[in-house]
Structure 1
Amino acid sequence: MSNTTENNKRIAKNTLLLYFRMLFLMVVSLYTSRVVLNALGVEDFGIYNVVGGIVAMFTVLSGSLSAAISRFITYELGKENQENLNKIFSSAVTIQLGLAGIILLLAESIGLWFLNFKMNIPISRMEAANWVFQFSIFTFAINLISVPYNASIIAHERMSAFAYISILEAIGKLTIAFLIAISPMDKLTFYAILMCVVAFIVRLTYGNYCKRHFSECTYHFSWDKLLLKQMFGFAGWNFIGASASILRDQGGNIIINLFCGPAVNAARGIAFQVNNAVNQFVTNFMTALNPQITKSYASGDKEYMMTIIFQGARLSFYMLFLLSLPILVNTHYILTLWLKIVPEHAVLFVQLILIFALSESISQPLITAMLATGKIRNYQIIVGGLQMMNLPVSYILLRIGYFPEIVIVVAICISQCCLGARLILLRKMINLSITKYLKNVYLNIIIVSIIAVILPLISAYYIKESFINFILISLIAVICTLSSIYFIGCNNQEREFIHQKLGTIKSKITRK
């Protein structure tokens, strides 16, 4: 019991640290983007982003391997097998070094050809664009080699280090934003060089921290064929899911452009910006929760694993719903306040994207549980195959004349199909009870959502748009959501936990 309480405290502490990191990075990122845009100018800023985007296309490869590395390290920590930990870490670094070499080769051949002969870049800026390309490749390779170190920090649940080093990186990028204004050379080239330098400093910081705190993080060349086969096999099957997500998001954007034009792409882009800002809260929570799911599976504590899967699914949804509902009922006013001129389709795109994010949020703990087992072939074939249907179904519906938002509607429907497939597969993989999940998670969040939205929707319908009314409706939405979560969404044990925490806070305030 005490061990479970300690784990819950660690999850809560790590989540708070990651929230602090997220809020700081969000503010710094928004400000840095503005300063860099002003210093470089629109054309150079666009060149940096589009050239860096060529290199970023390779992230689908690195992302699959990153998930594999994180899972293997966390799993062995749960089993407390120190000898295997060092072997896995060294193998992970070897894999990333090899992958970095392959990407360098591809980028310096196909990527360089595409940049110089296919991209629409002014001749006067082509030399600077090539320098940006070279330093973007080096920056990507450095970040790639940092992955095993990042995975070790997350697996050990040292989120304070993860948060502080990320903040150091943000401060470095903010410093760059001011330095390029007094650049002694071409600003665009100077910016690319400094970004590479910051990546190198961050890489050294991660490496130094891991070597000092984790005994397994000392690299020795390792070529364990069986282990490498397992890791590449895991990454290979995980590649299906990663590719399906890219086809859904980027492919959907392309077919919207084909049928509806760039103005609708802009509306969709605005929706995704709103979604990314809100969704970071759930991402941070799951980053803190994921190691506990994997470790409990590795140690054989299936009962605790099921508890945190169910609680994690509900809490992920509640946290996202608490932030999303005020946006959902005030979408038009928020976009008007932010953008002044709201593009056509933007309001409905934002609302549908947030509903899609809510649909996906309850699946995150299930995905982590699946990764923990290591047996992902059938899962990725079935769920990844379902997700790949997003593109052809959306294409057909747009071709016969449906509205642009149908792409997100399709994604929501397929997301629910994927949830059903995950539950059926995990019933066999980890003996997950579908009945308990539907009762304790799915039915629970549906009832909470229906009760929470009634009063905010009525208020938004009858109250005229203004800043004061926006605050009022948002407060109504937050109060209704918190009340619904507390009285309906929480069980007796969770309500007792909330009472204890509130009592502790009250006593501290009283003593002061």
Structure 2
Amino acid sequence: MSSQTSDNKRIAKNTLLLYFRMLFMMAVNLYASRVILNTLGITDYGINNVVGGVITMLGFLTGSLGGASSRYITYDLGKGDMTVMKKTFGNILSIHFILAVIVLLVGETLGLWFMSTQLQIPPEREAAAMWVYQFSIFSSVLAVVSVPYNATIIAHEKMSAFAYISIADAVLKLLIVYLLVLIPYDKLIVYAILFFCVQAFDRIVYGIYCSRHFKETRTRPKYDGKQFKEIFVFAGWTMNGNLAVIGYTQGLNILLNIFFGPTVNAARGIAVQVQSVCQQFCGNFQMALNPQLTKSYAQGNLENMHRLLVRSSKFSFYILLLVVLPLMFEAELVLKVWLGIVPEHTVNFLRLMLVVGLLYTLSNPINVSVHATGQLKKFQTIEGTMLLLIVPIAYFLLKHFNVLPECVFVVHIIVELLTQYARIRIVLPMIGMQLITYFKQVIIPVSMTAVLTPIIPFVVFTHMSICWYQFFVICVVNVLCISFVIYTLGCTTSERKFLAEKFASSVRKITNTYK
């Protein structure tokens, strides 16, 4: 069996495992969100969202070193030297223990001041908000020390671990929902404590799994001056980009709180949750491909890397479009049925954030590719600076023009489009890929699909009343239109041949089963 065939089968298997995990977690999270919103109420739900977001802003540190960890662990695994892998993992452990202490110190000083003095929190809920904040700090510390282990699982492409542990995590979150209704104490405080306990469980299980299955994780924290510095320099250049990500997520969340209060934070929190669930449809596909991108570069197989980059970008976009387009049309109906209580602005927030999710499918493969090269200085400086502009532009509009809260997400979309163009201009030359090739194989197909697909569904939507019958019709029409446009305009001849063969094979299997 050829190496490429083996890689393709592994990607397919990992993708299926991640989709099984996703479907189960999606069902649990959607049910849990409804119960939690109705149990906490809109105000407390918004408080939990924005207060937890303050400490999440420190995640730019975690994300920076997390990206560095994933890159070095995956790169060393591609080389196959166990001695080097153990040294790398030991150094990464030391770095993350140091980072955990930094997160704790900053959270209990600067973060605590910001939470206490700058956020809009009703006076009677300040004590509960402080509980949420403290447990958010503890959760962040756990997340920091878990990064090396999670990066190792992804590098080894053992996605079954994520699938099984995530199922246990989802079951525990269902238990949280049950206990939240039963326990006769402050619901917001109870929720913060129970949620932290689930995260502690995840950390312990991931650590045990890695220790039993991966030799390189059976090591203590180490210090090698040269590698320590190398990883920190790499992480330093990613820090600008991760700071920008935190800025346009939690930074915008805080702006919404300052200008509009916790009710709008609740609307944004609901929209983010739905967007996150939808994005998992393509995120799982990309998670299965990402290690192969890095390994292909480490092995000098740029042709395979280009092929994976195109497929990851293009088919991730198609997969997500299949999910989000019906939801964008029927957002109002779905949110009403799902939540019962729908905070103002939620429908518009959701539609705009789904567009952001579609753009993310194109940026993620480029980001993974540049991390594989290790040449981050120019990329992170330009990308991070451009994305950081989202928050000050949004603040300026909110402060001086009294715009609607939806405008902050419009700013995000516009800046993201400009940033994506900068990304491809910087990264493609690094990996030896022609710009015209990327435009022909990715940008043109996804653009035609995005523009042409909604036309017929929009006509159907405008001529029907809002009801479940319309939702069903819209879903069917969307699937048919997207499938037709993807097959005829969004795929190359070889991809159409591959899809046709797979479809014929599936039909034969189903037919033989019922003979």
TM-score of the superposition, structure 1-length normalised? 0.88
Q: Using the alignment, how far apart are the partners of 2:191 and 2:340 within structure 1?
A: 31
Aligned to 2:223: 223
Report whether the alignment pairs 1:291 with 2:291.
Answer: yes
Indicate whether 1:276 and 2:276 are aligned: yes
| 1:160 equivalent in alignment to 2:157 | no
Rounded to whole Å, the distance in 2 between the matches of 1:31 and 1:115 is: 30
Matched position secondary structure for 1:413: helix
Q: Which moved more, 1:326-335 or 1:362-371?
A: 326-335
Residue 386 in 1 paired to residue 377 in 2?
Answer: no
> 1:422 offset after TM fit, Å?
1.2
1:121-270 correspondence to structure 2 within 5 Å: 126=127, 135-179=135-179, 194-255=194-255, 268-270=268-270
Distance 2:477 2:317 in 1: 19
**Structure 2 matches for 1:343-492, cutoff 5 A?**
346-398=346-398, 399-400=400-401, 404-492=405-493
Q: SS at the partner of 1:362?
A: helix
Task: State the shift of 1:2 in Å.
Answer: 2.6
Q: Distance in 2 between matches of 1:466 and 1:375?
A: 52
Query: Which one-letter code corresponds to 2:311 in the other structure?
Result: Q
The 8 Å contact of residues 74 and 155 in structure 1, kept in 2 or not, is answered as: yes
- Aligned sequence identity (%): 44
Distance 1:39 1:368, change over 3 A: same
Cα offset for 1:82? 2.0
For residues 25 and 342 of structure 1, the distance between their equivalents in structure 2, rounded to whole angstroms, comes to: 22
Question: In 2, are the aligned partners of 1:373 and 1:429 still within 8 Å (CA)?
Answer: yes
Relative to structure 1, the CA distance from residue 295 to residue 35 in structure 2 (aligned partners, 3 Å threshold; closer, same or farther) is same
Q: Counterpart of 1:20 in structure 2: which amino acid?
A: F
8 Å CA contact retained: 1:252, 1:391: yes
Corresponding residue SS for 1:370: helix
1:324-357 per-position Cα deviation (integer Å, ceiling 9, x unaligned): 2212333444445456686665544433332232
Q: What letter matches 1:206 in structure 2? A: Y
Question: 1:506 & 1:130 partners in 2: Cα distance?
Answer: 57
Deviation, structure 1 residue 18 = 1.3
What letter matches 1:21 in structure 2?
R
**Alpha-carbon deviations, 1:378-429, whole Å to 9, x = none?**
1011111111222333344453465543333332222222121112111331
Please list, as runs of the form range in 1=range in 2, the aligned pairs for 1:297-376 lying within 5 A after superposition: 297-338=297-338, 346-376=346-376
Q: SS of the residue aligned with 2:83?
A: helix
Structure 2 Cα separation of the partners of residues 54 and 67 of structure 1 = 21
- Please give the per-residue CA displacement for 1:352-374, whole angstroms capped at 9, x wherever unaligned: 33223222321211111011111
Give the letter for the 2:289 counterpart: L
Shift of 1:131: 6.2
Q: Write the distance in 1 (CA, Å) between the matches of 2:41 and 2:462.
A: 43
CA separation of 1:192 and 1:423: change in aligned 2, threshold 3 A: closer
Deviates more, 1:290-299 or 1:425-434: 425-434
The residue number in structure 1 matching 2:510 is: 509
Aligned residue type for 2:505: T
Q: Measure how far apart 1:279 and its partner are.
A: 1.6
Question: Residue deviations 1:453-506, cap 9 Å, x none?
Answer: 221122222333332122112211110101111122122222232233223323
* Separation in structure 2 between the aligned mates of residue 33 and residue 6 of structure 1, nearest angstrom: 40
2:27 corresponds to 1:22? no
Aligned residues: 511
8 Å Cα contact 1:282-1:319 kept in structure 2: yes
Correspondences of 1:34-49 after superposition (within 5 Å): none
**Structure 2 counterpart of 1:374, which letter?**
G
User: Contact 2:22–2:280 at 8 Å: present in 1 too?
Assistant: yes
Give the letter aligned to residue 503 of structure 2. L
Shift of residue 446, structure 1, vs aligned partner = 1.7
Distance 1:388 1:144, change over 3 A: closer
Task: Report the alpha carbon displacement of residue 252 of structure 1 after superposing the two structures with TM.
Answer: 3.4
Contact map agreement 1:238 1:380 (CA 8 A) in 2: yes
Q: CA RMSD in A?
A: 3.3
| Paired amino acid for 2:442 | V
User: Structure 2 vs 1, CA of residues 338 and 436 (structure 1 numbering), >3 Å: closer, same or farther?
Assistant: same
Q: Deviations over 1:246-291 (max 9, x none)?
A: 2223333444566667666665555434322222212222111111
Paired with 1:184 and 1:464, the residues of 2 have a C-alpha distance of: 43
What is the aligned partner in structure 2 of residue 95 from structure 1?
95
Superposition TM-score, scaled by structure 2 size: 0.88
* Cα offset, 1:160, TM superposition: 0.4
SS at match of 2:215: coil
Change (3 A) 1:189 1:252: closer
Q: 1:506 is matched by which residue type in structure 2? A: V
- Look up the match of 1:57: 57
Comparing 387-396 with 72-81, greater Cα deviation is found at 387-396
Paired amino acid for 1:202: D
* Stretch deviating more after TM superposition (360-369 or 292-301): 360-369
Cα displacement (A) at 1:38: 7.2
Output the CA distance in 1 between the equivalents of 2:129 and 2:450.
49
2: CA distance, partners of 1:429 / 1:124? 52
SS in 1 for 2:453: helix
Q: Aligned pair in 2 of structure 1 residues 352, 110: CA closer, same or farther (>3 Å)?
A: closer
C-alpha distance in structure 2 between counterparts of 1:365 and 1:505, whole Å? 29
Larger deviation: 78-87 or 325-334?
325-334
What's the secondary structure of 1:363's corresponding residue?
A: helix
Between the aligned partners of 2:79 and 2:405, the Cα distance in structure 1 is: 49
Range with greater deviation from structure 2 (5-14 or 495-504): 495-504
Q: Assess, with a 3 A threshold, how the Cα gap between structure 1 residues 451 and 146 changes in structure 2: closer, same or farther.
A: same
Greater Cα offset, 466-475 or 329-338: 329-338
Q: Return 5+ residue gaps in structure 1 as ranges.
A: none
Instruction: Compute the displacement of 1:435 (Å).
Output: 0.2
Higher relative contact order (CA 8 A, sep 6+): 2
Whether the aligned pair in 1 keeps the contact of 2:60 and 2:245 (CA below 8 Å) is no
Deviates more, 1:79-88 or 1:1-10: 1-10
Instruction: Report the Cα offset of residue 9 of structure 1.
Output: 2.0
Encode CA deviations 1:63-87: one digit per residue, 9 max, x unaligned. 2111110111011112222221111
The amino acid that maps onto 1:480 is C
Residue 132 (structure 1) shift = 5.9
3-state DSSP of counterpart to 1:465: coil
User: Residues 49 and 265 of structure 2 are in contact (CA less than 8 Å); yes or no, is this contact kept in structure 1?
Assistant: no
| Equivalent in the alignment of 2:80 | 80
Contiguous gaps of at least 5 residues in structure 2: none
